[in-house]
Amino acid sequence: MENREALVYTLFSIVISLQFFWIFLRPRYSAFTSALRLTRHLKPSIRHLTSATRSDFEFMSYMINKADSVNKALDKAVPLCEPVLKIREAMRYTLLSDGKRVRPMLCLAACELVGGQESTAMPAACAIEMLHASSLIQDDLPCMDDDSLRRGKPTNHKVFGEDIAVLAADALIALAVKKMATSTSLNAPPAKVLRAVVELAKAVGTEGLVAGQAADLAGEGMSFEDNDVGLEHLEFIHIHKTAALLEAAAVIGGIMGGGSDEEIERLRSYTRCIGLMFQVVDDVLDVTKSSEDLGKTAGKDLVAGKLTYPKVMGVEKSKEYAEKLNIEARKHLQEFDSHKMAPLLSLADYIVNRQN
């Protein structure tokens, strides 16, 4: 009997010890398996670029810290106060909703990459996110993509009505320009601020988002017998609708950080690649994931007859194309400091591997 009790006690002690050991080991195991999956995913031709990223660089921690700084700045930028309180509520509803803050993070990372400080680019980062929020409100309207779910919540017009949603989107565009022009550090030369504002305007107008959205609407239900023609139309849509704002984020960050023309053009090329890659992955997720996984209505593009990458080239070819774009994006960063480019290398991998 004593031997049995001793055995039970020993087994119980082993179980408790293993539990404590797993609690200690789990974070390290998760980090290791994530890195292993990422390394396997990358083709041999770009593994040497991956090694340029510092092994101790924690991208998710970096991203969370940047998002926290941006969220605090955005909260201050649109206070809840009279007059037009309802419009401010609508602006804040989309602007401060749970999001990855990829675009403002990209702006801050680009600024730091060329030697600038986060504080110098923060107003620009906020302006970029305001434009992004505005585009989401407009994209979800019944006259556009007619969606009822965004980031796991009812879309803006479902909560506040179409009239207030349209006004909130307009107000965010105006606030973005004001934020960029008036809140940037007084140490920044006026010519630099003006150049950044011009990039901001290009990204949202007929050279950017508006052109992409118009082409997207025009392409609904269209049939392209020649896949090359379909792909060309699709690339036009997403270079303007998706990549333009990502491109503006990096370019403006580079301008505010004092980057050379050559450095800024390398950033532009990098973000052109990750912007298209973002959309390719988005299209694949739309047909392979659920609405619960995505936080927005899954399969909606297929139902609407929209032109998507899986529709033109299939799911597997789309995944291969996303990897190809990742390779190209990383090559554009080769001339930068290996320590400072770690966030942008990691961002490219994050985008190609994202699941929502």
Confidence grade of residue 44 (pLDDT, cut at 50, 70, 90): very low
Q: How far apart are CA 246 and CA 236, in angstroms?
A: 15
**Higher pLDDT pick, 295 / 311:** 311
Which of 160, 24, 50 lies closest to 94, judged by CA?
160
Angle made by CA atoms 161, 150, 156, in degrees to the nearest 5: 15
Percent of the chain whose predicted confidence (pLDDT) is above 70: 77
Q: What is the Cα 74 distance to its own chain's centre?
A: 17
Q: In residues, how long is the chain?
A: 356
Mean pLDDT (whole number) for 16-26: 47
Confidence grade of residue 146 (pLDDT, cut at 50, 70, 90): confident
Mean pLDDT over all residues of the chain? Answer: 82
What is the number of other CB atoms lying within 10 angstroms of the CB of residue 8? 10
pLDDT at 6: 53
Which is it for the CA torsion 129, 242, 280, 276, positive or negative?
Answer: negative
Residue 154 bridge partners (DSSP): 149
Percent of the chain whose predicted confidence (pLDDT) is above 90: 50
- The CATH architecture one would assign to domain 57-353 is Orthogonal Bundle (1.10)
Is pLDDT of 23 > 60? no
Which of 253, 252, 248, 241 lies closest to 282, judged by CA?
241
Confidence grade of residue 25 (pLDDT, cut at 50, 70, 90): very low
**Higher pLDDT pick, 296 / 15:** 296
**pLDDT digit string, tens, across residues 92-137:** 999 999 888 999 999 999 999 999 999 999 999 999 999 999 999 9
Whole-Å CA distances, 320 to 14, 161, 273, 309, 315: 47, 41, 14, 11, 9
Crossing angle, helix 342-353 and helix 2-41, to 10 degrees?
100
Please give the DSSP secondary-structure letter assigned to residue 295: T
pLDDT at 307: 78
